[in-house]
Amino acid sequence: MRILQAARAKVCCAALIAAGIFAAAGPVLAHHSFTMFDMTKRVTLAGTVTSFEWTNPHSYIEIDVPDEKGAVKHYSIEMGSPSILMQSGWKFSSLHAGDKITLIMNPMKSGQNGGFLSTATLPDGKVLSNGPRQEPPPPPAQK
């Protein structure tokens, strides 16, 4: 009888540990959806970096962009993770507050001032993308 109770206790304990591991792994397995961005549109922004956030799971460029009337609009541009960005030549020191840059991004569907980075032209003229395979595939060639 004691052997049966000990076996049940071990099985129950193992099941609780397994459930805890799977519950903790859920957020790790989840991935950010890009449905908030209009991947069919491209917008070019030229402005001044206010901050460059080299963070996981996604990095961000915060940029102030003057409009045609001179009013400044602030944009938050989402990028890939640092490990993905490094494959395209990015470094944590690639941008600094005050840098003048040009970005091409997919805007937010909501119309808010933000988007998903396609390419960035840095102050030295270097053009960096948002990581390998971050771009939608090109349309098929027309014959």
- Condensed to tens digits (0 to 9), the pLDDT of residues 61-94 reads 999 999 889 899 999 999 999 999 999 999 999 9
| Predicted TM-score of the model (pTM) | 0.70
Q: Which residues contact 75 (CB under 8 A, 6 or more apart)?
A: 45, 47, 62, 63, 64, 65, 113, 114, 115
Report in angstroms the alpha-carbon separations of 128 from 15, 33, 48, 79, 103. 48, 22, 17, 11, 10
Q: State the DSSP H helix or E strand holding residue 140, giving kind and residue range, or none if neither.
A: none
What is the average per-residue pLDDT within 36-49? 95
105 close to 42: Cβ distance less than 8 angstroms: yes
pLDDT of 4 > 80? The answer is: no
**What's the average model confidence in pLDDT over 46-54?**
97
| 99 phi/psi in degrees, rounded to 5 | -65, 140
Pair of tokens at residue 92: 């944590």
Per-residue tokens: 110: 């909501």
Which residues lie closer than 8 Å to 114 by C-beta, 6 or more apart? 75, 76, 77, 78, 107, 108
* Mean pLDDT within 113-135: 88
pLDDT band at 5 (very low <50, low <70, confident <90, very high): low
